[in-house]
Structure 1
Amino acid sequence: MNNPAPTHHDVTQSLVIVSGMSGSGKSVALKTFEDLGFYCVDNLPAELLSDFVRSTMRADGTPEKLAVGIDIRSRSDLANLPEWLSAVGKLGLDPKLVFFDARDEVLLKRYADTRRRHPLSHLGLSLADAISLEKQVLKPLRTLADVVIDTSTLNVHQLRRQVITEFGLSSDSTLSLLFESFAYRRGVPPDADFVFDARGLTNPHWNAELRPLSGRDQAVRDFLETQSEAPEYAAQVAAFLDTWLPRMQSDTRSYVTIAFGCSGGRHRSVYLAERLAEHAREKGWPEVAVHHRELD
């Protein structure tokens, strides 16, 4: 008797290769896969793919749900990716390659807005030339991709929802929450529904040991939580959100962005966004994303 063919659900939950253009939203996608229960690794040398998959196999030989970022940063010859995917197939997995893309003018604007450096900037190229070269190098991967997602017109919420719809289980009526940090000197995020000003809290920037860190780091969290004002602030915001977010959930509203701002967008706002996102998950909200505009 023949074994039944694997279902779409079986395949997509084995191994997802996340690739695409820098600035197209790959980091948001990987974070979303992590929230869906995938074990995620970014910037894995592509020739190590089968070794990595083998090392994560469970004792009974079944695979973990894996999402692996492979893109222009890889020092491997990406033209050999079909060979490496074939090696993974011999381990009993059917990998799915998802390629994220965006129009050139959109990528240029995103880099200008975030002031990030392109991975190919070390070659001395202009941003436009770096994007053009990256597109040329990644063309074989785009051609090979099982799914191509153009993020040119998608915000963080919409990108996250598309990944969840494709690879997870999501109710259409679920409210997607985005907790975002930002620096006031670069403006308030235009799509923010709620904005909370953290500039009144003690600033870790003036502590030389904490200055190079961010609100993601435990040392910064510990510092802020020894100041009674920060936990009190977080508790008051949490109480507000617990009261009003459930009332915003409806068939006509899918996304809510809660933004926290401070002077540099590195310490206080990041701490609050992370802490309130944790609180939202503890409260049972199924779709919670975090975006640090000045860090990501």
Structure 2
Amino acid sequence: MSQADSVVPVLEGGDVDPRSLRRHIILVTGLAGAGRLTALKCLEDIGYEAVDNMPLDLIPHLVAGLGQASLPAMSKPIALGIDSRTSGFSGDGFIDLVRQLKSDKRFRVTLVFLDCEDEVLRRRYTETRRRHPLAQDRPVGDGILRERQLMRPVRTEADLVLDTSDTAIGDLKGMLAGHFGLAAQPDLALTILSFSYKQGLPREADLVFDVRFLENPYYDPALRPLSGQDAAVGRAIEADPAFPGFFAALTSLLWPLLPGYEGEGKSYLTIAIGCTGGRHRSVFVAGKLADWLRERGRSVTLRHRDVGRAAG
């Protein structure tokens, strides 16, 4: 048994947190080509028992066999991969199954939906020369459209939506570890995400802050090739007279919101910081905000979606 497997959170006064006695089941679904198998492998690497493409009507039988130990938290949590190819799949049937599982107090059930831009999905199928499972004899785009319509109600039901359009495998693993790591962690899993408005709003964002009002280091030839992760860029942004008041207001706004989200039962919160090119201002502000939250005891996953793109 690993150290992570043996973590049982204890409340003040020495009582075991009852949530730790509920075995965690993660249902991983989404669009074909968005990375379900990769996500399952990542979850397996951080300590989950991963099972893919089990027929829907067999899942209740599998779940019925779980939670039999006197201390279920001492057993591995489960990650189940399910998509439109799964035997017996239908959107409404899958949602009914999810709600049925969530009603069982022995388990803590999380539905994760992997999304991706249509053009990226087309490129992935073209590069791998695979046929889309819902368009065996038609263009890939037809299969993507059909599946998106089929999965729309499932996406609406999801507890967590992850857009993998620009996500490397290492970043996906980091995101999943941040949300579902087995070590004891605060109730609310925080992700701070920098992005470029040129590339569009991140679909997974809960809160979005625009820092394009700050002076842009892109117009300084010495800073242009750098990013917000470089100290020189950070010093330039902090020297902007508008920055100190903005950052103080940002943290003052966010800090009291976090316990409110937790009180409402929210488990995941993605805070997105955007600028024009997603390379200088948003990257620096996102990093500084992540550091500020960590200094106050919060567990934070930091991700820079567009820092590798052309500066702007």
What TM-score, normalized by structure 2, do the two folds share? Answer: 0.49
Q: Partners in 2 of 1:46 and 1:61 — Cα distance?
A: 27
Aligned 8 A contact 1:57 1:64 in 2: no
1:201-250 CA-to-partner distances (Å, cap 9, x unmatched) read xxxxxxxxxxxxxxxxxxxxxxxxxxxxxxxxxxxxxxxxxxxxxxxxxx
1:77-101 CA-to-partner distances (Å, cap 9, x unmatched) read 2312233223323252131000000
Note the C-alpha offset of 1:161.
1.2
Note the C-alpha offset of 1:66.
0.5
Q: Does 1:164 align with 2:174?
A: no
Match of 1:75 among 82, 87, 98: 87
Q: Give the 3-state SS of the residue equivalent to 2:87 in structure 1.
A: coil
Determine the structure 2 residue equivalent to 1:145: 158
Q: Does 1:86 align with 2:99?
A: yes
Determine the structure 2 residue equivalent to 1:121: 135
Structure 2: gaps of 5 or more residues: 1-14, 184-228, 231-312
One-letter code aligned to 1:94: R
Q: Partners in 1 of 2:156 and 2:115 — Cα distance?
A: 12
1:153-190 CA-to-partner distances (Å, cap 9, x unmatched) read 111111111111111169xxxxxxxxxxxxxxxxxxxx
In 2 relative to 1, CA 80–6 (structure 1 residues): closer, same or farther, beyond 3 Å?
A: farther
Q: Give the 3-state SS of the residue equivalent to 1:95 in structure 2.
A: strand
Match of 1:33 among 43, 53, 72: 43
Q: Partners in 1 of 2:25 and 2:35 — Cα distance?
A: 19
One-letter code aligned to 2:38: V
Computed over aligned residues only, the root mean square deviation of the Cα atoms, in angstroms, reads: 2.6
One-letter code aligned to 1:33: L
Note the C-alpha offset of 1:22.
0.9
Aligned 8 A contact 1:17 1:98 in 2: yes
Note the C-alpha offset of 1:106.
0.6
Question: How much identity, in percent, do the aligned residues show?
Answer: 34
Q: Partners in 2 of 1:69 and 1:39 — Cα distance?
A: 11
Q: Partners in 2 of 1:138 and 1:5 — Cα distance?
A: 35
Note the C-alpha offset of 1:29.
0.5
1:227-280 CA-to-partner distances (Å, cap 9, x unmatched) read xxxxxxxxxxxxxxxxxxxxxxxx99xxxxxxxxxxxxxxxxxxxxxxxxxxxx
Determine the structure 2 residue equivalent to 1:132: 145
Note the C-alpha offset of 1:125.
2.1
Q: Partners in 2 of 1:106 and 1:37 — Cα distance?
A: 30
Query: Would you say how many aligned residue pairs link Structure 1 and Structure 2?
Result: 167
What TM-score, normalized by structure 1, do the two folds share? Answer: 0.51
Q: Partners in 2 of 1:82 and 1:5 — Cα distance?
A: 29
In 2 relative to 1, CA 153–41 (structure 1 residues): closer, same or farther, beyond 3 Å?
A: same
